[in-house]
Amino acid sequence: MSNFNISRKGRFISKRGIALLIVLTVIAVLSAVVVEFAYTTRVSVNLGSSYRDFVIAESIARSGIEIAKKLLLQDLNSDKSQGDMSDFKVTSEELTGDDELWSQTAMLGSIFNPFEEGQLLLSIEDEGGKFNLNMLAGMDGSRDEKMAQLAIKLFTNIGVENSDELVGKIVDWIDGDTFGEYEYGAKNAQMDSITELALLPEMDYLKYSKITGVAPDMPLFSRFLTVYPQRRYEEGAKVINWTVNVNTAPKEVLMTIIRDCDESCAQSIMDEISENHMRSGAEFINLIGSYGLELEQGVNVVVRSDVFSVISEGIVGGEEDEHGRRRGGVSSVIRAVLRRSEGESNNMDILYWRKE
């Protein structure tokens, strides 16, 4: 295999060069976490070796969350200095190493490993390209019909049968009132986690993984759906449009937000975006306009986001597979949702945290 890739901007960048850039970035953040790591390593000497391995694995997973925070803040700063406030995905085939490093972290484990005693597998995903289920209903108990129609369209695009019935169940689950066809045992409050979908009437694993687009053993996140940011009630507004970061939206979401755009149409638009990411909502409107297409009602298009889901796994022991990933060792996984706050002092809020 060639040791060189051509970046989107036409430059030749060696894989070693990319690895070096990532190494430099991570070394900068490691100084912050190394103290915790050294401490747990010292403590572990006195413990049984399998428990010791678990403590180290967990420490690596925690460090991964710190690395994710740092990468996202660094991205915000470099976006500001470059005057391009957009967040987009860089796929592994076209790694450039110098922009949107957060979106390239899936490569981290196989390119290099900063931890001598184990391996870090980190993935960061933008939640801004997904449908926020909490938009379906307001505190006043009313169903937001515009959002309901968009959700029905999205579920139909995903291949869910009776998607209007599913949306009805979710609305009853979320909305503040206690009347409705599927109200029995409903929460009647906004969702805190996608996993609440599993509590809906007549839900099973197969349906759950179809609706969320992920395997049942990865329950926290979904390819198309999110519950973040939970802004709807906080703002107290009755009608809020669906704000979508089109740079990170999956094909099924693009099919939903554009009127009369089938799968191959959405695929072409997604290909164009991955070739040249959108730098403004207007640019996207022009792009779909060139296909003779327009947005659905109730949709706002943006090109950036501040809410990201992170899966950080530390693995100790085991054997490396052909991709350089360890299998069969002691593993610790942390799933978190992080929000970047803009302002004088950029920082990260943790919206969700779960350790497995």
Instruction: State the nearest-atom distance from the C-beta of 69 to Ca ion, in Å.
Output: 15
Q: In this complex, which beta carbon is closest to Ca ion, that of residue 62 or of residue 130?
A: 130
Stretch that binds Ca ion, among 113-121, 168-176, 216-224, 269-277 (CB under 5 A): 168-176
DSSP label of 322: T
For residues 105 and 29, is the Cβ–Cβ distance under 8 A? no
Instruction: Report whether 63 contacts 33 (CB < 8 A).
Output: yes
Which segment (74-82, 149-157, 286-294, 345-353) binds Ca ion by CB under 5 A?
A: 74-82
Contacts of 237 (CB under 8 A, 6+ apart): none
By C-beta, is 58 or 87 nearer to Ca ion? 87
CA-to-CA separations, 254 to 128, 190, 257, 260, 355, in angstroms, rounded: 13, 25, 5, 11, 32
79 contacts Ca ion (rule: CB under 5 A): yes
With CB under 5 A, what is the number of residues at the site for Ca ion? 7
User: According to the binding rule CB under 5 A, does residue 87 interact with Ca ion?
Assistant: yes
Residue 178 CB, shortest distance to Ca ion, in Å, is 6
Q: Tell me how far, at minimum, the Cβ of 87 lies from Ca ion, in Å.
A: 4
Q: Which residue bears the tokens 């198309």?
A: 224
Q: Is residue 74 within the footprint of Ca ion (CB under 5 A)?
A: no
Instruction: Confirm or reject binding of residue 313 to Ca ion (CB under 5 A).
Output: no
From candidates 53, 75, 126, 313, binder to Ca ion by CB under 5 A: 75
| Candidate segments 5-13, 48-56, 70-78, 251-259, binder of Ca ion by CB under 5 A | 70-78
Helix (H) or strand (E) holding 307: strand 307-316
Residue tagged 């975006």 (tokens): 273
Residue of 144, 172, 252, 306 that binds Ca ion (CB under 5 A): 172
DSSP string, 144-190: -HHHHHHHHHHHHHHT-TTHHHHHHHHHHHHSS---STT-TT---S-
In whole angstroms, the minimum distance from the beta carbon of 326 to Ca ion comes to 30
CB of 187 to Ca ion, least distance (A): 8
Stretch that binds Ca ion, among 22-30, 125-133, 185-193, 202-210 (CB under 5 A): 185-193
CB within 8 Å of 104: residues ≥ 6 apart? 22, 90, 92, 95, 97
Q: How many whole angstroms separate alpha carbon 224 and alpha carbon 243?
A: 13
Q: Does 58 bind Ca ion (CB under 5 A)?
A: no
175 binds Ca ion (CB under 5 A): yes
Judged by CB, which is closer to Ca ion: 87, or 313? 87
The minimum distance between CB 307 and Ca ion, in angstroms, equals 13
Nearer to Ca ion (CB atom), residue 90 or residue 311: 90
β-pairing verdict for 4-6 and 319-320: unpaired
Pick 48 or 83: Cβ nearer Ca ion: 83
Length of the chain: 356
Phi then psi for 149, rounded to 5 degrees? Answer: -65, -40
Please report which helix (H) or strand (E) contains residue 310, including its range: strand 307-316
Phi–psi pair at 7, nearest 5 degrees: -75, 170
What is the CB neighbour count within 10 angstroms for residue 172?
Answer: 25
Residue 126 makes contact with Ca ion by CB under 5 A: no
Cross-strand bridge partners of residue 355? 334
**134 with 226: CB under 8 angstroms?**
no
Binding site for Ca ion (CB under 5 A): 75, 79, 87, 172, 175, 186, 188
